[in-house]
Amino acid sequence: MSIQAQACAGFFDGNLLSNSPTDVAAQKAALNSLGFVWNGDFNTVEKHGVTAGTLDFSTPLNSTTYLAIHFGNGKGGPGNATAFYRLDAGSNLDSLLLNYSAGGNAVLYATSASTPPVPEPETYAMLLAGLGVVGFIARRRQR
């Protein structure tokens, strides 16, 4: 499945994904331009490394997601730069394959909670059948 960014802010020079006051201010401004207000608390974000152009997440991504990726000076990248993205991740996305092979690290700021799946009609039929059997056994024991 191909995921397209809905909006991008960047590429900003350097690795802005640190907890320094200057970098936090730059992150807040970039995220704000994408429609997301971040409080600047690094304890509320997930930090990830990029391995061989793949970004794996411990929290599945759902619907509107805000993240930033730092691209190093490796081959096929924009140079030492950081980009901020708003994307529609679909449902329970757990990894991204980057077009740039020079990914270094990333920060996941927010993703929507997943919605539980709606049971199939067969599930309801099995539930009703099971309740019917339990009711039949209970009624038979009373006699």
Total domains in the chain come to 1
User: Domain containing 32: what range?
Assistant: 5-117
Q: Report yes or no on 92 lying in a domain.
A: yes
Residue 67: predicted pLDDT = 92
Q: Report yes or no on 128 lying in a domain.
A: no
Residue 113: predicted pLDDT = 63
Question: pLDDT for 36-69, tens place per residue?
Answer: 999 988 888 989 888 777 888 888 888 899 999 9
Q: Report yes or no on 87 lying in a domain.
A: yes
Could you tell me the pTM of the whole model? 0.73
Question: pLDDT for 84-134, tens place per residue?
Answer: 999 988 888 888 888 777 778 889 998 886 555 567 778 878 888 888 888
Q: Report yes or no on 143 lying in a domain.
A: no
Residue 76: predicted pLDDT = 66
Of 59, 56, 35, nearest to 69 by C-alpha is 56
Q: Report yes or no on 131 lying in a domain.
A: no
Average pLDDT in the 1-23 region? 83
DSSP string for the chain: ----EEEEEEEEES---SSSHHHHHHHHHHHHHTT------GGGSEEEEEETTEEEEEEEE-SEEEEEEEE-SSTTS-SSEEEEEEEE--SSEEEEE-S-TTEEEEEEEEEPPPPPPPPPHHHHHHHHHHHHHHHHHHHHHH-
Q: Report yes or no on 81 lying in a domain.
A: yes
Residue 63: predicted pLDDT = 87
pLDDT band at 2 (very low <50, low <70, confident <90, very high): low
Q: Report yes or no on 129 lying in a domain.
A: no
Q: Report yes or no on 79 lying in a domain.
A: yes
pLDDT band at 143 (very low <50, low <70, confident <90, very high): low
